[in-house]
A = this chain, B = another copy of it.
Amino acid sequence: MVVDAARLWTLNHRLLTVVLDACTDELAELGLETKEFFVLAEVAASPYPAELAAKLVISKASMTGYVRNLVAKGFLRREIDDADLRRQRLVLTTEGVTARDKALAALAAGFDRRLARITPADRSELQRILLALLEPAN
């Protein structure tokens, strides 16, 4: 049976939206806006603002604001990149790591309720396939 890709996309999108919406309050208690959370979650993998903006599909302009807020909140620190003075390497503070991990745990808890419906084997299958889908174009 072939399922329409658009329908799959739409349902999937709704699922993620609902899960995220359910976590918004918990994130706020940690002192994180939704988008700031995305930034915090990925900054270790992509420490430069421009790179991070591209990965998260948001503008550099927005990234400037999120980084400013996260620095002000003490979750992030800017370090000068000696190799390229245009760039600033973003580093998680101890508080940043703590907040990120708590936030990820909150999201995981929300999504886990859904994931309980599939087997652990299917979970790693899903992760493998999603990674393959994202791989080439990051």
Q: Which residues of A contact B (CB under 8 A)?
A: 1-21, 38, 41-42, 55-57, 104-105, 107-109, 111-112, 114-115, 117-118, 120, 122-127, 129-138
Q: Which of B7, B104, B122, B133 contacts A114 (CB 8 A)?
A: B133
Does the CB pair B16–A104 fall under 8 Å? no
Q: Which of B12, B41, B118, B135 contacts A16 (CB 8 A)?
A: B12
Write the chain B residue with the least CB distance to A130. Answer: B11
Chain B residues near A18: list those with CB within 8 A.
57, 134, 137
Does the CB pair B124–A3 fall under 8 Å? yes
- State the number of copies, please: 2
Does the CB pair A115–B5 fall under 8 Å? yes
Q: List 15 A-B contacts (CB under 8 A).
A: A4-B104, A5-B107, A6-B107, A8-B111, A8-B115, A8-B123, A8-B130, A10-B107, A11-B130, A17-B57, A18-B57, A18-B137, A117-B135, A118-B129, A118-B133
A120 shortest CB reach to chain B, Å: 7
Chain B residues near A125: list those with CB within 8 A.
125, 129
Chain B residues near A136: list those with CB within 8 A.
117
A100 shortest CB reach to chain B, Å: 10
